[in-house]
Amino acid sequence: MNMERIGVKEGNYHLSNYDKTYQQFDWDEVKQAFSWSRTGKVNIAYEAIDRHAENPMKTDQVALIYSSPDREETYTFSDLKQSSNQFANVLKKYGIEKGDRVFIFMPRSPEFYSAFFGILKVGAIAGPLFEAFMEQAVRDRLEDSEASMLVTTPELLERVPHKELAHLKQIVLVGEDDNKEGSFIDFHEEMNQASKSFDVEWVDLEDGMLLHYTSGSTGKPKGVYHVHHAMIQHYQTAKWVLDLHENDVYWCTADPGWVTGTSYGIFGPWLNGVTNVVVGGRFSPENWYKTLQDYEVTVWYSAPTAFRKLMSAGSQAIEPFDLSKLRHITSVGEPLNPEVIVWGLEAFKLRIHDTWWMTETGAQVICNYPAIDIKPGSMGKPVPGVVASIIDNEGNELPPNQMGNLAIKAPWPSMMRAIWKRPEKYESYFLNNWYISGDSAYYDEEGYFWFQGRLDDVINTSGERVGPFEVESKLIEHPAVAEAGVIGKPHPERGEIIKAFITLNEGYVQSDELLDDIRQFVKKGLSAHATPRELEVKDSIPKTRSGKIMRRLLKSWELGLPTGDVSTLEE
Ligand code: WT7
CATH value at residue 55: 3.40.50.12780
Q: Does 182 lie in the same domain as 84? A: yes
| 434/546 same-domain check | no
DSSP string, 115-131: HHHHHHHTT-EEEEE-T
The ligand 1 site (C-beta within 6 Å) comprises 214, 259-260, 332-335, 354-359, 379, 437-439, 451, 454, 460, 465
Euclidean distance between CA atoms 373 and 278, whole angstroms: 30
pTM: 0.93
Do 292 and 359 lie in one domain? The reply is: yes
Q: The domain containing residue 540 runs over which residues?
A: 458-559
Q: Which of 142, 144, 101 is nearest to 123 (CA)?
A: 101
| Whether residues 462 and 431 fall in one domain | no
* 542 within 8 A of 569, measured Cβ to Cβ: yes
Are 516 and 434 part of one and the same domain? no
Q: How many domains does the chain have?
A: 2
CA distance 224 to 208: 11
- Phi and psi at 123, nearest 5°, equal 85, 10
**Ligand 1 mean position, distance from CA 341 (Å):** 18
In a domain, residue 153? The reply is yes
Contact 178, 154 (CB under 8 A): yes
Q: Give the residue whose CA is nearest to atom 23 of ligand 1.
A: 358
Does 85 reside within a domain?
A: yes
DSSP letter (8 states) at residue 183:
-
Peptide bond into 411 cis (omega under 30): yes
Residues 199 and 78 in one domain: yes
Q: How are the residues of the chain apportioned to helix, strand and coil, as percentages rounded to the nearest 5? A: 30, 25, 45
How many CB atoms are located within 10 Å of the residue 406 CB? 29
Q: Residue 270: which of 100, 64, 48, 70 has the closest Cα? A: 48
Tell me whether residue 488 is in a domain.
Answer: yes
Substitution site in 210, 355, 356 for ligand 1 pocket (most atoms within 8 Å of beta carbon): 356
126 & 246 share domain = yes
Task: Tell how far the Cα of 332 is from the centroid of ligand 1, in angstroms.
Answer: 7
Side-chain-side CA neighbours of 468 within 13 Å: the count stands at 26
Residues 531 and 387 both lie in one domain: no
Count CB neighbours of 188 within 10 A: 13
Residue 167 lies in a domain: yes
Has residue 566 been placed in a domain? no
User: At 479, which CATH number?
Assistant: 3.30.300.30
Task: Give the atom of ligand 1 at the shortest distance from the alpha carbon of 357.
Answer: 3
Residue nearest to ligand 1 atom 21, measured at CA: 465
For residue 24, report the distance from its CA to the centre of ligand 1, in Å.
28
For a mutational test of ligand 1's pocket, the pick from 358, 408, 454, i.e. the residue with the most ligand atoms closer than 8 A to its C-beta, is 358
48 secondary structure, DSSP code: I
- The domain boundary residue, chosen from 419, 443, 467: 443
Crossing angle between the packed helical segments 338-347 and 304-313, to the nearest 10 degrees: 60
The Å distance, Cα 357 to ligand 1 centre, comes to: 6
Q: 229 and 368: one domain?
A: yes
Chain centroid offset of residue 354 CA:
15
> Does 4 map to a domain?
no
Which of ligand 1's atoms lies nearest the C-alpha of 379? Answer: 17
205 CA distance to ligand 1 middle (Å): 26
Q: Is the domain of 505 the same as that of 433?
A: no
Residues 481 and 427 in one domain: no
Spacing of C-alpha 555 from chain mean position = 26
Q: Are strands 62-68 and 149-152 parallel, antiparallel or unpaired?
A: unpaired
pLDDT of the chain, 571 residues: tens digit per residue: 567 899 999 899 999 999 999 999 999 999 999 999 999 999 999 999 999 999 999 999 999 999 999 999 999 999 999 999 999 999 999 999 999 999 999 999 999 999 999 999 999 999 999 999 999 999 999 999 999 999 999 999 999 999 999 999 999 999 976 556 668 999 999 999 999 999 999 999 999 999 999 988 778 899 999 999 999 999 999 999 999 999 999 999 999 999 999 999 999 999 999 999 999 988 899 999 999 999 999 999 999 999 999 999 998 999 999 999 999 999 999 999 999 999 999 999 999 999 999 999 999 999 999 999 999 999 999 999 999 999 999 999 999 999 999 999 999 999 999 999 999 999 999 999 999 999 999 999 999 999 999 998 999 999 899 999 889 989 999 999 999 999 999 999 899 999 999 999 999 999 999 999 999 999 999 999 999 999 999 999 998 777 788 898 999 999 998 877 676 676 5
CA distance 488 to 505: 24
Instruction: Please indicate, yes or no, if residue 5 is contained in any of the structural domains.
Output: no
Domain membership of residue 11 (yes or no) is no
Rounded to the nearest angstrom, the distance between the alpha carbon of 181 and the centre of ligand 1 is 41
DSSP string, 259-292: HIIIIIIIIHHHHTT-EEEEE-S---HHHHHHHH
Out of 393, 411, 443, a domain closes at 443
* Residue 98 sits in the same domain as residue 199: yes
Element (H, E) at 308: helix 304-313
Which of 397, 414, 443 delimits the end of a domain?
443
